[in-house]
């Protein structure tokens, strides 16, 4: 699946994941089985702590889905907050990718 480990966006902003605090992989029956490679899940839900523009104390929450190849039906839901709990990046509606491809792996 795609990773929030290092995430960069407009204005030179960046988030670096230092600690994964929650991870859940599940199979949504409404999403076609991802392949290749074969995996027993298609949805990755997670939260973690990290650095926003080099400053510790930021958090991220996300849901990534893998709806198979070529990735045009993969989705992302992502929120990044700074150390003061202020939202600095939010994709609040499960949004289809316009570039890239999530890939679930065993």
Q: Are 105 and 42 in contact (CB under 8 A)?
A: no
Q: Tell whether 75 is covered by a domain.
A: yes
Closest CA to 61 of 44, 74, 75: 44
pTM for the whole structure: 0.81
Q: What residues contact 97, with CB distance under 8 A and at least 6 apart?
A: 71, 72, 74, 75, 76
Q: Tell whether 105 is covered by a domain.
A: no
Q: Tell whether 104 is covered by a domain.
A: no
Q: Which domain holds residue 86?
A: 6-96
pLDDT tens across 83-95, in order?
999 999 998 777 7
Q: Tell whether 10 is covered by a domain.
A: yes
Mode of pairing for the β-strands spanning 13-26 and 43-52: antiparallel
pLDDT tens across 21-57, in order?
999 999 999 987 766 667 888 999 999 999 999 999 9
Q: Tell whether 84 is covered by a domain.
A: yes
Domain count, the chain: 1
Q: Tell whether 57 is covered by a domain.
A: yes
Q: Tell whether 106 is covered by a domain.
A: no
């Amino acid at each position: 699946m795609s990773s929030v480990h290092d995430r960069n966006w407009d204005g030179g902003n960046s988030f670096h994941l230092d600690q994964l605090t929650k991870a859940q992989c599940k199979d949504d029956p409404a999403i076609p089985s991802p392949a290749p490679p074969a995996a027993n899940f298609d949805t990755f839900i997670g939260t973690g702590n990290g650095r926003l523009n080099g400053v510790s104390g930021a958090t991220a929450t996300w849901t990534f889905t893998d709806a198979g190849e070529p990735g045009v039906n993969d989705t992302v839901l992502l929120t990044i907050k700074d150390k003061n709990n202020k939202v600095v990046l939010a994709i609040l509606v499960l949004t289809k990718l316009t570039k890239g491809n999530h890939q679930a792996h065993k």
